Structure 1
Amino acid sequence: MKKTFIINSPSGLHARPAALLVQKANSFPCDISLVKGDKKVNAKSIMSILALGIEAKEEIVVITQGEKEAEAMQAIGELLEI
């Protein structure tokens, strides 16, 4: 599955929300990736997510693949749209 989200948080995806995202991603058995521009990272890695430098109002593509991918997409989407 693949879906685009806009980061609504005025501070972007900084350390605290990134940590929550990683924690949620790790609760699913499927592969979860975040894509910003031409960079694709593992959503289960805090360092990878922070390296993207995601700012407010930026578009992020979430890709889920494998077991429980739909549930993972829903959960990750809810975190990103806060």
Structure 2
Amino acid sequence: MQSITYTVKAEAGIHARPAGLLVKQAASFKSNIKILNEESGKEADLKRLMAVMALGVKQGNSVVISAEGEDEEEAARVLEAFLKENF
């Protein structure tokens, strides 16, 4: 399993449009990918938009993305880069 931790810098947190792009990016991998909002302790499947939105990730919250499966290393690397560029 590969995991990364990222603190959200975007003023709006993880909101609808970029969250949809994040989910789409995650869906391109075969691995099982989860996202955890460390502040609330809630976890969701990163391939399900409504579940990600329900986490209510706000600016300053730290999230942990974990990927497990055959392409987990690539998934973690790509998703970390996506977070840095968009959130």
User: Could you state the TM-score of these two structures normalised by the residue count of structure 1?
Assistant: 0.94
Gaps of 5+ in 1: none
* CA deviation vs aligned residue, 1:6-42 (integer Å, no higher than 9, x gap): 1121211000110000100000000000001321110
SS at structure 2 position matched to 1:35: strand
> Residue 20 of structure 1 corresponds to which residue in structure 2?
21
> Residue 69 of structure 2 corresponds to which residue in structure 1?
66
Residues paired across the two proteins, number = 82
Instruction: Give the whole-Å Cα distance in 2 for the aligned partners of 1:48 and 1:31.
Output: 14
Question: 53, 61, 64: which one pairs with 1:50?
Answer: 53
User: Could you state the TM-score of these two structures normalised by the residue count of structure 2?
Assistant: 0.89
Partner letter of residue 20 of structure 2? A
Flag as ranges the 4+ runs of structure 1 deviating above 2 A.
Answer: none
Gaps of 5+ in 2: none
